[in-house]
Amino acid sequence: MSYRNDIAGFFEGELGLEPGSYDDDELLFSSGRLDSFGLVTLLAFVEEKLGRRLKTAETTLANFDSITRLSQFMAVA
Amino acid sequence: MIIFTIGDMLTRARRLWPDRVFLLSGEREVTFGQLGEMVDRFAGWLCAQGIRAGDRVGVHLQKSPEEIAAMLAIARIGAVWVNLSVHWNARQVRDQAEDCGMRLLVVNPRRAGELMKEVWPDSLEKLVVFGEGTVEGDPARWVAWADAAGELPERPSLPIETDLAAICYTSGSTGRPKGVMLSHRNFVAATQIVSDYLGNTEHDRLLSVLPCCFNYGLLQILTMLLVGGSVVLQRVTMPAELAASLARGDITGVAAVPSIWTPLAAHLAETGQIVRGLRYLTNAGGKCPDAVLAQLPGLFQGAAIYLMYGMTETIRATYLDPELFESKRGAMGRPTINTEIFVVDAEGRPVPCGELGELVQRGPTMAMGYWGRPDASAEKFRPCPGLGKTGETRFCWSGDIVREDADGVLWFVGRQDFMIKSNGVRISPAEIEEVVHHFPGVVHAVAFGAPDPVAGQAVELAIEAGEGGLDLAELRRFCRQKLAGYLCPRQLHLWSGPMPKTGNGKLDVKAVVAALQQAQAAQ
């Protein structure tokens, strides 16, 4: 199951990313485009979608830093 | 060489340790010598642009060697840096820039585009752009960082210690953030005081997690500049990323706030990781939950733990000697050297030991005042009449209620006013309420801090709606749009019926907050 569209919808609706202003591989946290407050809101969304609490070890740039990475992480999480 | 100004610190560092690595950023290493060259290049360009002593130049970049070079270059020629948090949105940047009459601003490409499109500050002449990405906007209004290079005049005019070095914006209890004016002397004194009690040496390598717009974060850079140590720039504060950086094994010190320590401690406990080799760690920017403090010695073996307290207006006030961590866990500690603190009543008279009073402080780290706000400055920085001769001089009235115990150790009790402290940042309820009032249907709005195990306090909002009622989901979206992330309330409460008023007709904020807290506790 691909979470890509849910994730993009969340970023646009809740985190203020303008549609068309980003691409799926763009690094969002390490570039500073999204801040730590965006991360907290995003974690709540991810936990809700996955139906479980995330371990802090899963909250890494490798899993969260772009839409592509996050969708891949959620697909197997 | 005697150190009077921030520039002196860099001059000495370049002379003594030109090839020693000072900043580490990803794979990149910058020596004191190289940083000095970056500073001179930008300072030379600033001079060529006609930037004079006292002119305000903004820096609004993610943590990077360029951010630091920009600040030091501005200070080098006696101009005033204004480091604006990357959490501010474009509108807030414009407001701050206009408030201090900023002439130039260093930003990333995206923010440059936003400023040029809709919210150009009145006084601003040009942007300097650093970072990846294309800039959308009139090329006449910006220049790339790489092109902002020049030669300093042979004998550039230099600041003296009493000159303004920076304006640091912080929230006050009414509405718009105020610009705290800090001199070279303020920064140098704070750097000397802090590096002294932390025992900083050239062998220290600090992990820089906190932003430089925050005095606390800036001190990691300045202390290492003073003693010839080094700093690893850590842009991302996700606990797993921090743990990975600590696992490098070469970090000797970490400074953070409760909202970083709490998740980091949880992560280390979850993964069974123990950090060894850390000489010390520090906490300031709020009280860390005791449950977290209790875990720290086990997770950071051998590390000395310093609990500290300060305000933007005085940079640093107290610290708890690590030897007292166990017996006085959770305390603010004692005043630092070269600083005097009293706990006083409303008339400025010292309260008896053990009783509650407001913390007042005097010393060389005390700011010069608030930019453009003589009344607010006179209110915050004024004599302490109950102290006799000592009280005739300027003190900073902290607005924090504290208590001194029999051992001279200070304990934080609460805030004088309604300020919220969330993730180490001071938030004025009025900032949020003023914006929320623009939403149709809002009759009264009360923003307050609710206890939060990670942030200390989290922002929540109570609303009294008009007759037409109010769509909370719409209001939430409105908040996200108009307010910077950190100001957005995490919970909205629709108050049923009219909110209580005080005797003189004003909103009884205390009663509203108390009622909501009771309702929360009952759940």
Average pLDDT over residues A35-61: 86
Same domain for B387 and B328, yes or no, is yes
d(CA B82, CA B95): 13
Give the residue, A74 or B413, on which the prediction is more confident: A74
d(CA B434, CA B426): 16
Same domain for B320 and B200, yes or no, is yes
Return the pLDDT at B174.
Answer: 59
If one counts the domains in chain B, the total is 3
Same domain for B143 and B209, yes or no, is no
For the cut 80, the answer to whether the pLDDT of residue B70 exceeds it is yes
The reply to whether A56 touches chain B by the CB within 8 Å rule is: yes
For the cut 60, the answer to whether the pLDDT of residue B268 exceeds it is yes
Number of A:B CB contacts under 8 A?
A: 51
Return the pLDDT at B106.
Answer: 98
pLDDT tier for residue B125 given thresholds of 50, 70 and 90: very high
B348 is a domain residue: no
d(CA B436, CA B444): 9
pLDDT tier for residue A72 given thresholds of 50, 70 and 90: very high
Highest-pLDDT range among A55-64, B184-193, B387-396: B184-193
For the cut 80, the answer to whether the pLDDT of residue B107 exceeds it is yes
pLDDT tier for residue A13 given thresholds of 50, 70 and 90: confident
Average pLDDT over residues B204-213: 96
Write the CATH number for B387: 3.40.50.12780
Same domain for B154 and B262, yes or no, is no
Same domain for B384 and B471, yes or no, is no
Return the pLDDT at B21.
Answer: 98
pLDDT tier for residue B301 given thresholds of 50, 70 and 90: very high
Give the residue, B194 or B122, on which the prediction is more confident: B194
Look at the block and give the residue holding tokens 């780290």.
B365
Q: HEC profile for B459-491? A: EEEEEEECCCCCCHHHHHHHHHHHCCHHHCCCE
B352 is a domain residue: no
Buried b (16+ CB within 10 A) or exposed e, B500-513: eeeeeeebbbeebb
B487 is a domain residue: yes
Q: For A24-28, B193-197, B295-299, B430-434, which range has the lowest pLDDT when averaged over its residues?
A: B430-434
Q: For B110-119, B281-290, B388-397, B497-506, which range has the lowest pLDDT when averaged over its residues?
A: B497-506
Return the pLDDT at B173.
Answer: 55
B212 is a domain residue: yes
Return the pLDDT at B51.
Answer: 97
Return the pLDDT at A14.
Answer: 79
d(CA B10, CA B32): 8
Return the pLDDT at B287.
Answer: 80
d(CA B126, CA B468): 46
The reply to whether A60 touches chain B by the CB within 8 Å rule is: yes
The reply to whether A37 touches chain B by the CB within 8 Å rule is: yes
Percent of chain B past pLDDT 90, that is, above it, reads 73
Average pLDDT over residues B101-113: 96
Which chain B residues are Cβ-neighbours of A26 within 8 angstroms?
A: none
pLDDT tier for residue B82 given thresholds of 50, 70 and 90: very high
- Which two three-digit tokens encode residue B362? 């005097």
Same domain for B149 and B45, yes or no, is yes
Same domain for B388 and B284, yes or no, is yes
For the cut 80, the answer to whether the pLDDT of residue B504 exceeds it is no
Which residue in A13, A32, A56 is closest to B267 by CB distance?
A: A56
Q: Which residues of B touch A (CB under 8 A)?
A: 62, 86-87, 108, 110, 132, 235-241, 263, 266-267, 270-271, 423, 477, 480-481, 485-486, 488
B82 is a domain residue: yes
Return the pLDDT at A17.
Answer: 81
Same domain for B197 and B294, yes or no, is yes
Give the residue, B268 or A14, on which the prediction is more confident: B268
Average pLDDT over residues B241-263: 92
Q: For B49-63, B191-205, B350-364, B504-518, which range has the lowest pLDDT when averaged over its residues?
A: B504-518
Same domain for B133 and B211, yes or no, is no
Which residue in A37, A59, A61 is closest to B485 by CB distance?
A: A37
For the cut 60, the answer to whether the pLDDT of residue B503 exceeds it is no
Percent of chain B past pLDDT 70, that is, above it, reads 98
- What mean pLDDT, rounded, does chain B reach? 93
Give the Å distances, CA to CA, from B465 to B428, B442, B475, B482: 22, 5, 11, 19
B451 is a domain residue: yes
Which chain B residues are Cβ-neighbours of A14 within 8 angstroms?
A: 480
Same domain for B196 and B156, yes or no, is no
Distance from CA of B424 to the nearest CA of A (A): 13
pLDDT tier for residue B86 given thresholds of 50, 70 and 90: confident
B276 is a domain residue: yes
pLDDT (tens digit per residue) in B335-366: 999 999 999 998 899 999 999 899 999 999 99
Same domain for B375 and B313, yes or no, is yes
Same domain for B333 and B438, yes or no, is no
Q: What range defines the domain where residue B449 resides?
A: 420-522
Which chain B residues are Cβ-neighbours of A57 within 8 angstroms?
A: 240, 267, 270-271
Return the pLDDT at B123.
Answer: 95
pLDDT tier for residue B172 given thresholds of 50, 70 and 90: low
HSE (side-chain half, CA atoms, 13 Å) at B60: 31
pLDDT (tens digit per residue) in B127-157: 999 998 889 899 999 999 999 999 999 988 9
User: If we measure between CA atoms, which residue out of B83, B127, B88, B85 comes closest to residue B108?
Assistant: B127
Return the pLDDT at B520.
Answer: 81
Write the CATH number for B78: 3.40.50.980
Domains annotated on chain A, with CATH:
4-76 (1.10.1200.10)
B1 is a domain residue: no
Q: Helix crossing, A67-76 with A4-14: angle to 10°?
A: 130
